[in-house]
């Protein structure tokens, strides 16, 4: 990093840009979409509640931001974000923010999540306390602590569970006081597509992750395995609406997400044909697929 770049990073505008970069704004939809789908399920059951929905949204996004800050810091400390990194610039590795500063940001983001969770706990009780604490602990343990999940091939499980099942069903629970079968099934495709974002990241970074001791699926079984994982998760996502309608949990409008199948096919095909250094655009494309799919599922459940 040049002296001029360091000076720019120290300016108020430069610091703000560094924090925005560390927050990884393109990934924040991973926290937004499940809350939107969960709120749609609650509304379809006649139990939509604006206050709990907004608190769930604030908590989910704050956890996502805090996890991103912690991931940036810990990956830098572990040497995973070296100069040969193919992905977007990371704040700590680029010298824009120190790992210590980023971990302080993690604490602030998690404090916001705790505040939202405290309000939700007054509505949902101890189950919400347990979910909130588990979410925060897992966010830190994703790349930090004595057994970082992302370094042992468990990042995919973390994303599917917390940004799929927990986020959707938790959002429904704080509004309805129960979790109907529709919520469980609706959480599956959201978790699957959220995990696809991680699969792209892992496929791209397989070589640098291997050198840093990060044992992702792509490192353990090869880059092609991560691409197969991506395709399988997409297939699961598009089977879910059919299962929802076949089970009688929603009307035929719940098949609306199938309209996004051409976008999914185009993204998966392009990713499969790409070399690691060409995969960055598919992170954004997969996030857009999650947004479109989630919006269609939310609308379909409501109609």
**H helix runs in 45-152, sequence order:** 50-78, 99-124, 126-141
Q: Of 5-14, 56-65, 170-179, 220-229, which range is least confident?
A: 5-14
Q: Closest by alpha carbon to 28, among 68, 75, 55?
A: 68
The CA distance from 153 to 157, in Å, is 8
| Residue among 189, 165, 194 at smallest CA distance from 179 | 165
Give me the pLDDT at residue 1, please: 46
* pLDDT tens sequence across 172-203: 999 999 999 999 999 999 999 999 999 999 99
Whole-number pLDDT of residue 173 = 96
**pLDDT tens digits, residue range 139-183?**
888 878 788 888 888 889 989 999 999 999 999 999 999 999 999
| pLDDT value, residue 143 | 78
Burial of 188 from C-beta contacts in 10 A (0-12 / 13-18 / 19+) = buried
Could you count the other beta carbons within 10 Å of the beta carbon of residue 54?
Answer: 14
Count Cβ atoms below 10 Å from residue 52 Cβ, excluding itself.
26
Each domain of the chain, given as residue ranges in start order, spans 3-302
At the top level of CATH, the class of 3-302 is: mainly alpha
pLDDT tens figures, 260-288: 999 999 999 999 999 989 999 999 999 99
Burial 85-119 (b: 16+ CB within 10 A, else e): bbbeebbbbbebbebebbbebbeebbebbbebbeb
Q: Is the pLDDT of residue 4 over 60?
A: no
Paired tokens of 22 = 């560390």
pLDDT band at 92 (very low <50, low <70, confident <90, very high): confident
Per-residue confidence (pLDDT) for residue 3, from 0 to 100 = 44
Share of the chain above pLDDT 90, in %: 72
pLDDT (tens digit per residue) in 202-213:
999 888 888 888
Which stretches within the chain are classed as H helix? Answer: 3-10, 12-23, 29-44, 50-78, 99-124, 126-141, 155-160, 166-176, 181-204, 206-211, 217-221, 223-246, 261-272, 280-302
Condensed to tens digits (0 to 9), the pLDDT of residues 29-70 reads 999 999 999 999 999 999 999 999 999 999 999 999 999 999
Q: Supply angle C-alpha 102, 108, 114, rounded to 5.
A: 135
The pLDDT of 99-111, averaged and rounded, is: 94
The C-alpha angle 13, 19, 20, rounded to 5 degrees, equals: 85
In this predicted structure, what is the pLDDT of residue 5? 46
Instruction: Write down the pLDDT at residue 80.
Output: 63
pLDDT band at 301 (very low <50, low <70, confident <90, very high): very high
Task: List the structure tokens of 300.
Answer: 């379909």
pLDDT in tens, 63-87: 999 999 998 988 888 776 666 666 6
């Amino acid at each position: 990093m040049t002296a001029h770049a360091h000076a720019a990073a120290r300016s108020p505008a430069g610091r703000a840009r560094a924090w925005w970069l560390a927050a990884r704004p393109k990934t924040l939809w991973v926290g937004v979409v499940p809350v939107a789908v969960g709120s749609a399920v609650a509304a379809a059951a006649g139990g939509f509640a604006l206050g709990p929905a907004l608190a769930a949204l604030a908590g989910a996004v704050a956890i996502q931001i805090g996890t991103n800050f912690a991931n940036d810091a810990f990956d830098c400390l572990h040497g995973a974000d070296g100069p040969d990194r193919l992905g977007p610039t990371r704040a700590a590795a680029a010298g824009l923010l120190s790992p210590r500063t980023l971990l302080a940001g993690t604490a602030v983001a998690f404090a916001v999540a705790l505040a939202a969770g405290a309000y939700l706990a007054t509505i949902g009780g101890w189950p919400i306390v347990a979910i909130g604490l588990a979410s925060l602990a897992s966010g830190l343990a994703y790349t930090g602590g004595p057994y970082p999940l992302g370094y042992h091939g468990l990042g995919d499980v973390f994303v599917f569970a917390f940004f799929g099942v927990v986020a959707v069903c938790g959002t429904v629970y704080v509004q309805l006081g129960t979790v109907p079968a529709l919520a469980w099934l609706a959480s599956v495709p959201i978790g699957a597509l959220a995990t696809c974002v991680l699969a792209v990241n892992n496929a791209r970074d397989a070589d640098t992750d291997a050198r840093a001791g990060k044992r992702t699926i792509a490192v353990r079984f090869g880059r092609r395995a991560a691409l197969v994982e991506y395709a399988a998760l997409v297939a699961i996502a598009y089977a879910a609406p059919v299962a929802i309608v076949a089970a009688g949990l929603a009307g035929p409008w719940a098949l609306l997400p199938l309209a996004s199948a051409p976008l999914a096919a185009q993204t998966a095909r392009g990713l499969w044909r790409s070399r690691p250094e060409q995969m960055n655009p598919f992170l954004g494309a997969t996030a857009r697929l999650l947004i479109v799919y989630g919006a269609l599922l939310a609308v379909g459940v409501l109609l």
